[in-house]
């Protein structure tokens, strides 16, 4: 019986894509290949390749298979520089294993190839190694074998067995629609592994001289002696001490700052900027300015540039599935937290452009599609969702519509948001009922899942003890129960938005590969992508983005009146995109 939803497939020939397992040699450039059926049965013999990249490139061109490997870090990254074209599809065992474990309620079980192999064979299951950054792996001549296989185990044998087992578990979903969506999740997560490796290799174009000029303007010239404070910070530090009439103190120390203000009779509960803003004292403004500049210096200053943005590219490392909701995390350089002010340094190469695209109001649209609330879907049928919501329910007051909807998705209860939530509940009972049901499930210790089937973590033992002890007393249950309710309430939306974004990335990288001259993804941040492209292809890239968003919507949500518009900009500099 055909699945009700198609899987991601460039040639629209689902679902029988040829599969080839790929295992590189421990050293050298060779490796082994094994053709597989969909179920993971070997077909024919093992092919040994002296030049793995050449063999892979040839098979990719001829068959467009789905490559099966233990992990992209070990199987794809080393090949990347030698392949003439990107690979189209893969099944990444290391990423699929935790998706399956989570769905099976075996959250937290070790996820390496070796662990999956051990479970299959009834062997002692090795713990996962702590995550290692790329720099760490490169520095070590004897990088640990991250596959965690028992000594003497043939990696190809383990890859084949674990892959067959994963395919069996995927096929074991009883509900056909659920199975189909989870298969899509597996394909999309694996596509994420390809995209992440490619983006790390490409890097985000970064003009060090622009960055340097900005730092110099804000902070003063780069200190020649490492470890000394830039001039502006040192000046502010002195002026702070004068303003507070205090002995020298370290403005980076919360305790010392609190004490210095307290000596002036100003009692602060923290040194947060919003709290300082309410203080009528010259030192407060100086402190705020100091924190602004100090933050830029320590988080994205010259040291950061030396470490992460050399050779005209910022090269972070993306961690696919690094957040439980399915959002990506990053390791090194704070890739997902580039301050807006520094976007001036992100500049396309000469003759090239940046296509900056973000999904407008993604999360409320996801809520509309998930909950199938017809009234909310009408507001999400295009254009400005908050404005449409305001026109319908908030007398045109957009701010109130936005605040209310965000509050509903995050579980906010306090402040003057109550009346807004009441209006939303009355006008959009289906959508509000959806998030409230998710919250109740969480409060009761249950599990919720994203649209494609990514599971949230179960409550911890400590949480169970706490809520047990509280015995459901109190108006809304104990604090920890309500906190978990907020988490699961948000999880269904954030994780489903991540599902959609992964599908977008998968579709977009496929469409980009069809264009000449390799426009390529260089940045991905939750609901935003940047493509670096030859200028003459920019409009085609914009079309590819728009089409990919429509494809992602169709794949993840099926037929829905909800639109997921992308706002796109073709620019030379990232800072000009908004």
In the complex, the residues that contact DNA under the rule CB under 7 A are: 250, 252-256, 270-275, 278, 291-292, 295, 298-299, 304, 319, 322-325, 327, 329-334, 336-341, 358, 406-407, 410-417, 483, 486-487, 490-491, 494, 525-528
24 or 321, CB closer to DNA? Answer: 321
Smallest gap, in angstroms, from Cβ of residue 425 to DNA?
A: 17
3-state secondary structure of 119: helix
Smallest gap, in angstroms, from Cβ of residue 170 to DNA?
A: 25
Smallest gap, in angstroms, from Cβ of residue 329 to DNA?
A: 3
Smallest gap, in angstroms, from Cβ of residue 133 to DNA?
A: 8
Smallest gap, in angstroms, from Cβ of residue 141 to DNA?
A: 21
By the 8 A CB rule, do 397 and 403 touch?
A: no
45 or 278, CB closer to DNA? Answer: 278
Q: Given its phi and psi angles, is residue 314 left (phi above 0), alpha (psi -120 to 50 degrees) or beta?
A: beta
The torsion defined by the Cα of 328, 330, 334 and 337, in degrees rounded to 10, comes to 0
Beta strand spans in 247-351 (E): 313-314, 317-319, 329-331
155 or 203, CB closer to DNA? Answer: 203
79 or 359, CB closer to DNA? Answer: 359
Smallest gap, in angstroms, from Cβ of residue 195 to DNA?
A: 17
Whole-angstrom distance, CA of residue 289 vs CA of residue 291:
5
Smallest gap, in angstroms, from Cβ of residue 110 to DNA?
A: 18
168 or 479, CB closer to DNA? Answer: 479
397 or 528, CB closer to DNA? Answer: 528
41 Cβ neighbours under 8 A, 6+ residues apart: 164
Q: Given its phi and psi angles, is residue 538 left (phi above 0), alpha (psi -120 to 50 degrees) or beta?
A: alpha
By the 8 A CB rule, do 189 and 320 touch?
A: yes
**Neighbour tally for 475: CB within 10 Å:** 5
Smallest gap, in angstroms, from Cβ of residue 392 to DNA?
A: 23
91 or 103, CB closer to DNA? Answer: 103
Pairing mode, strands 66-69 and 89-92: parallel
Q: Pick from 71, 163, 63, 62: which is nearest to 117 by CA?
A: 163
222 or 295, CB closer to DNA? Answer: 295
Q: DSSP secondary-structure letter at 201? A: H
Smallest gap, in angstroms, from Cβ of residue 168 to DNA?
A: 30
18 or 332, CB closer to DNA? Answer: 332
Smallest gap, in angstroms, from Cβ of residue 435 to DNA?
A: 11
**Neighbour tally for 12: CB within 10 Å:** 6
- What's the Rg (C-alpha) of the chain? 26
The CA distances from residue 193 to 88, 196, 233, 304, 540, in Å, are 11, 5, 41, 26, 25
3-state secondary structure of 192: helix
The CA distances from residue 343 to 104, 337, 346, in Å, are 42, 11, 5
31 or 230, CB closer to DNA? Answer: 230
**φ, ψ for residue 534 (rounded to 5)?**
-55, 140
């Amino acid at each position: 019986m055909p699945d009700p939803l198609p899987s991601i497939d460039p040639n629209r020939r689902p679902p029988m894509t040829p599969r080839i397992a790929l295992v590189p040699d421990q050293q050298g450039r060779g490796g082994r290949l094994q053709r597989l059926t969909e179920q993971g049965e070997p077909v024919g013999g093992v092919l040994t390749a002296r030049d793995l990249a050449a063999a892979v490139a040839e098979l990719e061109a001829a068959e467009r298979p789905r490559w099966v490997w233990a992990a992209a870090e070990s199987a794809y990254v080393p090949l990347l520089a030698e392949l003439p074209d990107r690979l189209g599809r893969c099944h990444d065992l290391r990423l699929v294993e935790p998706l399956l474990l989570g769905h099976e309620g075996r959250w937290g079980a070790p996820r390496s190839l070796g662990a999956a192999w051990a479970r299959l064979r009834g062997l002692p299951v090795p713990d996962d190694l702590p995550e290692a950054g790329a720099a760490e792996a490169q520095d070590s001549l004897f990088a640990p074998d991250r596959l965690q296989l028992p000594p003497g185990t043939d990696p190809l044998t383990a890859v084949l067995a674990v892959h067959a087992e994963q395919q069996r578990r995927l096929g074991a979903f009883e509900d056909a629609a659920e199975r189909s969506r989870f298969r899509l999740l597996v394909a999309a997560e694996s596509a994420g592994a390809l995209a992440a490796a490619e983006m790390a290799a490409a890097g985000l174009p970064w003009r060090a001289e622009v960055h340097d000029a900005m730092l110099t303007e804000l902070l003063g010239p780069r200190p020649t002696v490492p470890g000394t404070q830039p001039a502006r910070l040192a000046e502010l530090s002195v002026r702070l001490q004068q303003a507070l009439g205090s002995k020298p103190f370290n403005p980076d120390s919360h305790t010392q700052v609190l004490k210095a203000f307290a000596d002036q009779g100003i009692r602060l509960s923290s040194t947060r900027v919003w709290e300082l803003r309410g203080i009528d004292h010259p030192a407060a403004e100086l402190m705020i300015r100091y924190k602004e500049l100090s933050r830029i210096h320590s988080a994205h200053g010259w040291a950061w540039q030396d470490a992460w943005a050399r050779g005209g590219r910022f090269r972070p490392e993306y961690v696919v599935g690094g957040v439980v909701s399915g959002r990506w995390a990053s390791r090194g350089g704070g890739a997902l937290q580039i301050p807006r002010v520094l976007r001036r340094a992100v500049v396309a190469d000469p003759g090239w452009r940046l296509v900056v695209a973000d999904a407008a109001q993604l999360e409320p649209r996801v809520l509309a599609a998930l909950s199938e609330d017809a009234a909310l879907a009408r507001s999400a049928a295009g254009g400005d969702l908050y404005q449409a919501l305001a026109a319908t329910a908030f007398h045109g007051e957009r701010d109130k519509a936005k605040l209310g909807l965000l509050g509903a998705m995050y579980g906010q209860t306090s402040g003057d948001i109550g009346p807004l939530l009441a209006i939303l509940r009355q006008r959009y009972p289906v959508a509000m009922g959806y998030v409230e049901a998710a919250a109740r499930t969480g409060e009761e210790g249950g599990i919720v899942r994203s649209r494609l089937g990514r599971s949230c973590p179960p409550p911890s033992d400590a949480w169970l003890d706490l809520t047990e002890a509280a015995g459901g007393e109190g108006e809304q249950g104990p604090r920890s129960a309500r906190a978990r309710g907020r988490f699961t309430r948000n999880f269904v939306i954030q994780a489903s938005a991540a599902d959609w974004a992964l599908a977008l990335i998968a579709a977009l990288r496929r469409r980009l590969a069809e264009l000449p001259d390799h426009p390529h993804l260089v940045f991905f941040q939750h609901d935003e992508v940047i493509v670096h492209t030859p200028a003459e292809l920019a409009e085609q890239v914009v079309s590819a983005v728009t089409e990919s968003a429509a494809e992602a919507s169709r794949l993840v949500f099926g037929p829905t009146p909800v639109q997921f518009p992308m706002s796109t900009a073709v620019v030379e500099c990232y800072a000009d995109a908004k």
